[in-house]
Structure 1
Amino acid sequence: MTLSENEKKRLRNRYGSWAVVTGASSGIGRELAKQLASAGFGLVLVARREAVLAEVASELQQTYQTEVRLVLADLAGPAGVAALVKATESLGVGLLVASAGFGTSGQLVDADLEDEVDMLRVNCEALLRLTHEFGRRFAGQGRGGLILLSSMVAFQGVPFAAHYAATKAYVQTLAEGLSRELKPAGVDVLAAAPGPVRSGFGSRANMRMDMALEPEQVGVPILKALGRQTTVLPGWLTKLLVYSLQLVPRSIKVRIMEQVMGGMTQHQRVATVGL
């Protein structure tokens, strides 16, 4: 999927010339960076893996002739966020795509607590710090956009991914509230809540993903929803999964998700990225 020329023009006119994309080395973050490059945005790409991030930057520069700057940072700590803030002080950034994050699955009581705390820091604390910084910056300039990566698991408890789902519930409710707070200042906030997306984490994490969307199927719908919706469920599979449970009582949703996640993980403790 590609953005139309009218959509590219809308994004540039509304959000300016520079975008920051965290988690840009793979998956949805990489796809959104590609789409924004095609729209003519200069990009600040943020991730931990230098070699992979440099490869992404080279591809975007060669394909779209856009300027790309790299920030190598671990967003699990305040230092990583501070490095990103400093690197963008002199740029006319008008759009933040906060897609950095990771997840775990299995029983929480069997987890490594430090892994869970790191996930909380990346998925929630770093997101809060970035949203606070760029939200203030955008409000001050009278325009801007924040895309926060939620998930379809944000709408109910999910056994065998209980903590991960809780971090995404935080993202979802933060985006919903901020959307109303920042609207008078000309800042658009979007919660993007995809379902399973194929980005390589399934095989690495020993998860069975019989049905999953490709990143290319969700990037364009997310960008088209920015400034028009508060929450987007990108991709047909996401809509099917969420809408099919819409009228089901919350307690039953939890039981259904227990069966789904239990089958995917076989109750083993594994690391995942970005469901």
Structure 2
Amino acid sequence: MLTTKPKLVKIRSANRPQTYGFAVHSLKELVEIASRKLEPQESGNMQVCLYEDGTVVTEEYFHSLPDNTKLVLLPDGQSWNAFAEDIKRVLELDRNAELLIKTAQDLLMDERSPRARRILGDMQSTLNETPELELREDDQEWFEGIPVRFKTKSAYMKHNCETRIRGYLREVGDYTQTLENTRTKTEYKKVVESLREKLKAARYNGSYFDRREKDVNRLCTERGWFFCQGAYDENNCSFFHSINPYGSRESRILFSTWNLDHL
């Protein structure tokens, strides 16, 4: 089906952000021209989607689009996750960090969307963190208030975990005083002592917070990220809570309010 007047469209590939403008009479013509320009190495069938939401464009739908609609050319069967694809690609490149920070700062001046401001604020804060630094001499601000015997972030985080678990164990032991039945109290003490010995043998599971440990021994990623797994009666966290106490002093302090059942 040909239209008497060519339709003006803007189209790009899924892998590159550069956009080209074409004046075509049909979707078929657009696919042929755009494929030669954008994906000359691709030999399979191609399809066109709306850039904004990934809707697959059919020949009939194509003719209802307004001029200058932004489209994406991609192989048949491949989906387009709209802006998320561009965001993902940008975030994967460290060289974009400064640009992202500047863009976030500019957008934060717009007070029309509180939710967007919160997201951008969190992003700006995260981009300013330095989780890649490990030594005290390289990130002295992170170590503010921490005894000088700790020379690395991982060593302190390991100690922090051991201290927390000792505290939990102490609370469990203190509960003994609330038990009135002598037999129950005796059995409870045995359980607590058994737990104490097991934790002592495991060095109070300090490895949970140590990002240098193997995957099976830690609760964080190798870069120090912790992800909430939701409440005890849920399969996951609906709020997608995450934190990296290795990133900044503020995040380290905030992490101290996270209980182990939050991880």
TM-score (norm 1): 0.20
Query: Which structure shows the higher helix fraction?
Result: 1
Q: Which has the larger radius of gyration?
A: 2
TM-score (norm 2): 0.21
Greater relative contact order (CA < 8 Å, ≥ 6 in sequence): 1
